[in-house]
Structure 1
């Protein structure tokens, strides 16, 4: 018996519009909308054959609207099609985003570790910007104080670690 092998993508969706918070405004999209956008991208760029190859295994496991970080699972055999579809995405729900594949791995554990590391970096940059520029006003849902930042990081780490294959 052969097990089904996956590839896991850690993707950051960077907002294109210039905002006062450096593109870190919480996204107005959900996991389902990302899945639909990926499906449309695969169909547009790779046709029905591409969708037939990845459609059964494509799954959005996690999405954080605060950091715009997403974990996507797809079957290993055709992960290049999914990667291409992710890269060719330009809009999600009429908002322009640039998808940045931060990490690709064969196990969910490695992607979880990369996601936690990436969350720490993003929140650290936001905190540094908040301290450096007095006029900087991040979006209300972003952590404002050190305690809020630590609470957010521990909460998201628990959410990410609870994901299962």
Structure 2
């Protein structure tokens, strides 16, 4: 008996740099927002049948709202459809976004190791850009996200 084969996609969500986030409501990237945007994109581009085929296996496994790094799980047969749909997502909420694939892996362990490294590097950049405005709450939230990814399994 062969187990269910998955693919794990490590992606970063790039927000539109031309959008003035101080004047508009800041977008908070959540599992629900990402899942809804990608499923809507699958339905718009591949129809009801495409959505039904990919919906069983598609899951947002991890999201870091600070570094905008996320991990998606999908079946081996449907990963190309999900990947294509993510490239066609134009916005989450009212904020224009672009997805960048950082890693594609067949195991969650390999994907989470790369995600840990990526999150740590992106948080260092975030600390440098935030400077004095970085609060203890942000540090605690980042530690919680890193702990969440360390214990991530199937």
TM-score by length of 2: 0.84
Q: Offset of 1:17 from its aligned partner?
A: 3.6
SS in 1 for 2:33: helix
TM-score by length of 1: 0.79
Structure 1: how far apart are the matches of 2:20 and 2:135? Answer: 12
Alpha-carbon deviations, 1:61-100, whole Å to 9, x = none? 1111111111110001111000001111111112111111
User: Is 1:158 matched up with 2:147?
Assistant: yes
Show the counterpart of 2:6.
6
Q: Offset of 1:48 from its aligned partner?
A: 1.8
Q: Offset of 1:156 from its aligned partner?
A: 2.7
Cα distance change of structure 1 residues 129 and 17 upon mapping to structure 2, 3 Å threshold: closer
Show the counterpart of 2:54.
54
Question: Which ranges in structure 2 are unaligned for 5 or more consecutive residues?
Answer: none
Alpha-carbon deviations, 1:15-62, whole Å to 9, x = none? 1044789xxxx7423211211111100011111221122111100111
RMSD of aligned residue pairs (Cα, Å): 2.6
Structure 2: how far apart are the matches of 1:20 and 1:139? Answer: 20
Cα distance change of structure 1 residues 160 and 91 upon mapping to structure 2, 3 Å threshold: same
Q: Offset of 1:110 from its aligned partner?
A: 0.8
Q: Offset of 1:103 from its aligned partner?
A: 1.0
